[in-house]
Structure 1
């Protein structure tokens, strides 16, 4: 406990919590109990059907799950897998789950290493899985031993699977039993992506060996988002949420493709803003302020660490969008605007080809949307780009870079 020399609490900090009763219920990492999951009964049932054989020690059906961010893909996969683990225990079957964020673990070696570390019990296996120092083949060898020793069935959840640099890991995991890499256990794979055409991008060897079912999660509507938020309303103290706070939060998130994750973020940030302002009730004003903060925070995550050149290109598209909201702009037009910005920043401009590549990278990260269309027979193709966030939000985030801020735009 922080105290001064007289035993009084340090006035730098606050020691009351007038708004939140349990803020953890609103954290994205929180895995709610089944009674708090709403609007996905049908999809939960289909995931359960795929994983059901694991309860009896049999191989689950491999599954690809598609849907936009915040539609419950990861939540349902983790929740159903946990329930499978519990039910299997009643049957004397040991089911273990490894959840891998492929946005962070992008290489084959890092995925296998992380699965091994999540599943391993060194006291049981006598195996160590070091952070570095082994080749990919060595990590596989240790993983197979860990799986056979520690489990009857392993469920591997590969979130953001489209971020993997190499899809060979899918082939090796799915064929581990057939190739006698594991003999006392089986492996089921759930791949999660927001790109519904991801399976088309798999190499032919993987396509031919990775038999799977597919499931699409649609966006939540406003009514479902209200139910989701009301099921977490006990994160707040009684009486601190105004009657309009939850419906407004749901309506704002429904406009953004039905993103439940964003809705929860907005409501949490609204509570934090009310706390900071020492208000007793979370109101519409807090929700609107929270929406802007949530968008800025999420956008900042997408471009955090990007070089100033990439930010200058994004600023070029942003300035064009300010003049013509919701328009699409060809690469050449963005490039001309970027050249002016690069000059103002006293930077050597990149080539138009390199600018096009960076725009493609931003499209992959869902910062912008790019569409390539043919000009007609014999006339080639052209690409147009559209900003996915409000220009004011983008400029606010870009201005966190001191060089961009010096432009005073």
Structure 2
């Protein structure tokens, strides 16, 4: 390609390039430890009942009949997305055997977090499966245009017998979730499409409140599918069934057991267990070791904790992040390591000004700061201040303030916030 900004060297120039050397003495199949990897059924642990329920929902689509729709709830790392993808993939494969045209789409609503973005993702997924040369605008149009591409007079659903949509982290759509679910669940009933449609709506929030309203409730099964956390035994079995990600003899039972036990502390998160074991392998490889040791697992656990904290902070609401930034800033710039809500609130208001946001009340910041203690980003406690001051709440940061500050404020705003605080003498 003449204008390709990424040049590819000639074969001759690459003959002795060290990137081509296969010198990995730790990993054999690293992809088995990736959270996105969808393994075959023999590697899936503790989800037989949930797989059966999802199979019953989607099985009709595999034979050309109408599938059902359902909600899937559970905390992060409990296998929700894995099971949904696994069963959907099998249904699509069986459909091919039976000469049924079954299309499917997976949408990460954390990334595609509006109705228009979700509709665009659905349209492009179907396009890539049934009509790759079809032109669909990537931007500049609304959700209705993408829906028309699916079930309009010339819609792509006219070319398929059934369609399954997996909407992961649907709560990230906010109020748009109801619109998307309504459009998908009601389009068939309204005669807009000749194909059958099934939806798997997934949420990490077990108390998710954006459930379908009356327009769509009848299209979903009455009881949601709830995925419980894994226990330590199940986590160990998950890791054991993926131990062939490593070369033979590089990982033993004590290493796998430790990784499982460390992950079990965090509500049985299988993603965390895989992340710890994968990171331990990378540490061993970087250290030049021939085996993954328990010390590598412990180091990986600490590294995983930092990544987990960053993700938790970045997913917080703006004002919760601004308040946490204020605590981190005070921790870094002052001699003390714990601060009253009043002091945090004063700095928070300056952060809000620097980010062009309207500040919320002192009581609201107190509530938001208390919530940061639940994932152990902070800790807080009441302390007596004497008769003149009464009892008040203090907050202490449990992580590196630099990491917290860079996670709590968007990169392009961070310097402006710091300069504003310094100009105010904070």
Q: TM class by shorter-chain length?
A: 0.7 to 0.9
Per the alignment, do residues 55 and 245 of structure 1 end up closer, same or farther by CA in structure 2, a change over 3 Å counting? same
Aligned to 1:140: 147
Q: How does 1:242-281 map to 2 (within 5 A)?
A: 242-281=252-291
Unaligned runs of 5+ in 2: 1-8, 332-337, 379-392, 408-413, 422-426
Q: C-alpha displacement at 1:55, in angstroms?
A: 1.8
Q: C-alpha displacement at 1:263, in angstroms?
A: 0.4
1:395 and 2:407 equivalent? no
Query: What TM-score do you get using the length of structure 1 for normalisation?
Result: 0.79
Q: C-alpha displacement at 1:208, in angstroms?
A: 4.5
Q: C-alpha displacement at 1:32, in angstroms?
A: 0.9
Per the alignment, do residues 161 and 206 of structure 1 end up closer, same or farther by CA in structure 2, a change over 3 Å counting? farther
Note the alpha carbon deviations across 1:180-225, whole angstroms, 9 max, x for none.
1102x11000000022232x43464445454324110000000100
Distance 1:6 1:235 in 2: 28
Contact 2:320 2:369 (8 Å CA) reproduced: no
Distance 1:344 1:123 in 2: 50
Per the alignment, do residues 312 and 174 of structure 1 end up closer, same or farther by CA in structure 2, a change over 3 Å counting? closer
Distance 2:55 2:12 in 1: 55
Aligned to 1:230: 240
Q: C-alpha displacement at 1:318, in angstroms?
A: 6.9
Distance 2:12 2:95 in 1: 54
SS in 1 for 2:224: strand
SS in 1 for 2:87: helix
What is the aligned counterpart of 1:156 among 158, 161, 165? 165
Q: C-alpha displacement at 1:8, in angstroms?
A: 5.5
SS in 2 for 1:244: helix
Contact 1:53 1:60 (8 Å CA) reproduced: yes
Note the alpha carbon deviations across 1:16-64, whole angstroms, 9 max, x for none.
1111111111112211111111111111111101111112211111110
Aligned to 1:211: 220
Aligned to 1:69: 76
SS in 2 for 1:248: helix
Unaligned runs of 5+ in 1: 322-328, 371-384
Q: C-alpha displacement at 1:13, in angstroms?
A: 9.7
Q: How does 1:5-404 map to 2 (within 5 A)?
A: 9=17, 16-121=23-128, 124=131, 127-144=134-151, 145-165=154-174, 166=176, 167-183=178-194, 185-198=195-208, 200-202=209-211, 204-206=213-215, 208-212=217-221, 213-304=223-314, 311-315=321-325, 333-339=340-346, 351-353=359-361, 356=364, 391-393=397-399, 395=401, 397-398=403-404, 400=406
Contact 2:328 2:404 (8 Å CA) reproduced: no
CA RMSD of aligned residues (A): 4.2
Distance 2:163 2:394 in 1: 42
Contact 2:310 2:403 (8 Å CA) reproduced: yes
Per the alignment, do residues 245 and 106 of structure 1 end up closer, same or farther by CA in structure 2, a change over 3 Å counting? same
Contact 1:125 1:149 (8 Å CA) reproduced: no
Distance 1:293 1:282 in 2: 16
